[in-house]
Every structure is written in structure tokens, then in C-alpha cells.
Copies of this chain bind each other. A is one copy, B any other.
Amino acid sequence: MDAAQIDQVRRFNRTVTARVGVLHDHYLGRERPIGEARLLWEISAEGQDVRRLRERLGLDSGYVSRLLRALEADGLVTVEPRPQDRRVRTVRLTPDGAAERELLDLRSDELAGSLLAPLNPAQRTRLVAAMAEVDRLLTAAMVVLDPVDPDHPDAQWCLRSYFTELQERFDTGFDPALSLLPDAGELRPPRGLFLVARLHGEAVGCAGLKLPAGAPAEIKRMWVAPGARRLGLGRRFLAELEARAAEEGRDLLRLDTNKALSPAIGLYHSSGFQEVPPFNDEPYAHHWFEKRIAPAAAPGA
């Protein structure tokens, strides 16, 4: 990360906060405080728990409560206890609220239009393309990888999605019972670990690492949600697992994969993995890879 890059990012921040940020608030908050507008914006059609709203917007509970009271008074939302747990309250848009949200969407369109309007068509095309790129990469930068227990709901959700996808993509289908499944203990310290990738707190991918005694470290169950692909997440998982295996003093990383997963195969190749003869009897595997890695001492913190 060199100084010129930092510099460009700074210039970008300046232009963009000046232009987009200010306008955004201005457009959105025309006849409504932006606190209320932001809240309205976050309430989806099916309703949201107050708790979740607070988390997403990072606001004080008292403040959110007050904002909700204001929206309720305007007849834009209803707030009701959730039947299963009456402490938690769920916010829903009324028809009026939905209409108001619609209006915010319209404003958002206007803002977008005002950014493009002064440009000629060629410039517009280039601006939109560059924005898409920035959007994609900033989104990628917002993804966090957390080690979790394989039994954690997020982990379980990822694994279920993973299996469903394999079932669809393998021409033979996929039956977990026939596969060499590591039991959860193998993907939990000290025998391994399991990472979940999250975007805005929502799970969007997973990857497991087996660290068997007396055998090479092995990557298992790497999956990225369709909506989070093309963000370099697979590569990031590989790098992270490699670093962690290295910290454990391992010098070899391996994995197996199915021929149907061609993007993954490309990823392994371009990440320094070499194809090797089968090292296990996984019935769904067609390719086996390994990569020499540099073992490192565990870091201080």
C-alpha cells in the first residue's frame, strides 16, 4: 500500500463525500429528518426487529425508539411484539410507509441522475463502470472473516447452502453420507478451524481447515454465496487458511475438488497449488492439489 495509493483514496474520499455524501442526505432528508429517513430505508417489506435496525445503523437504543415513535405517529410503521419472544419488537411498514419509502427511492434516482446529467454519454459510461468497480471492491473490503464453531448457526447455514449447491452442480448429485465428511470436531480447535465470511453481519461464505496430527493441513468445505462472488473472497480464504496453517507450523496444504467446480480449480492453480495424485478416497473428488507453504512462528497477539 504505497503513498500514491493512499493519496488517491484520500482525494476520492474528499470528492465523494463532498459530492455524494452531502447530496445524499440532502435529497433523502427533504421533508423528513435523515435519522428517520435512514431508518425507513432499512425496514424491509417483511419487517425488521428493532434490535437488528439498531445494529445495522449503529444507533443508541433510546434514539431508535424515539425515531420509531415519530414514524409511528406519522402512520408510516407499526411496531409489535414478536409472538415467540415478546421482549423483541418487530417493525413493519404500513402502506403509507411503503409509499414514503418509494419516494425515497425516487429521490435516490434523482440524485443519481444529477450526478450523471452534466456528463456526455462516453463519460457516463466510464463513470458508471468505475463506480461499479469501486462498489465491488469496497464491498469486498467490508467482508470480515471470523473463526466460528462449526455448529454456529451461520456456519450451519453456509454448510447447508454448500451441500445444496453441490447437489445441483455435480452431474452425479451429492449425498453427504457418501462423502468423506470431517466431523465437526476436526474443524474446531485444536484439531482444525472453521471460518465464516460476513458482510454487514450476514454470512456469505465459509471455509474449514483440518490440522490432523502427523498429516498435512487440509482445506475443506470452502464456499462463497452466489451474491458474494467475484469479490476475491475465495482467494482471501485460501490466503487466510494458509497463514493460519503456517502459524501452526505446517509446511504443506492440500485439498480435493470436483471437476464441476471449474472456477475453484482455476483459483487453486493461480494461488500456487499444484495438482497431485489422489491422497484420499473421496468419491466426489476428481482433482487433488497441494501447496508448499512457509511455516511461521505463531504471532504474539
Q: Could you tell me which A residues sit within 8 Å of B by CB distance?
A: 1, 5-13, 15-17, 19-21, 24-25, 108-109, 111-113, 115-120, 123-135, 137-144, 232, 235-236, 239
Contacts and interface: CB of A to CB of B under 8 A. Distances in A.
25 contacts: A1-B116, A5-B128, A6-B112, A6-B113, A7-B112, A8-B131, A8-B132, A11-B131, A11-B132, A11-B135, A12-B134, A16-B16, A16-B20, A17-B20, A17-B24, A17-B25, A19-B138, A21-B21, A115-B141, A117-B141, A118-B144, A118-B236, A120-B232, A120-B235, A127-B138
Nearest to A231: B123
Nearest to A125: B5
A108 B5 contact: no
At the interface, is chain A mostly helix, strand, loop or mixed? helix
A141 B18 CA distance: 13
A196 to B, nearest CB: 15
Q: How many copies does the complex hold?
A: 2
A9 B137 contact: no
Contacts of A239: 120
B15 A21 contact: no
A281 B129 CA distance: 46
Contact of A120 (B5, B119, B131, B236): B236
A119 B140 contact: yes
The list of the 4 closest CB pairs from A to B, nearest first, reads: A130-B133, A9-B112, A12-B131, A21-B21
Contact of A9 (B5, B10, B128, B235): B128
B116 A126 contact: no
A16 B13 CA distance: 9
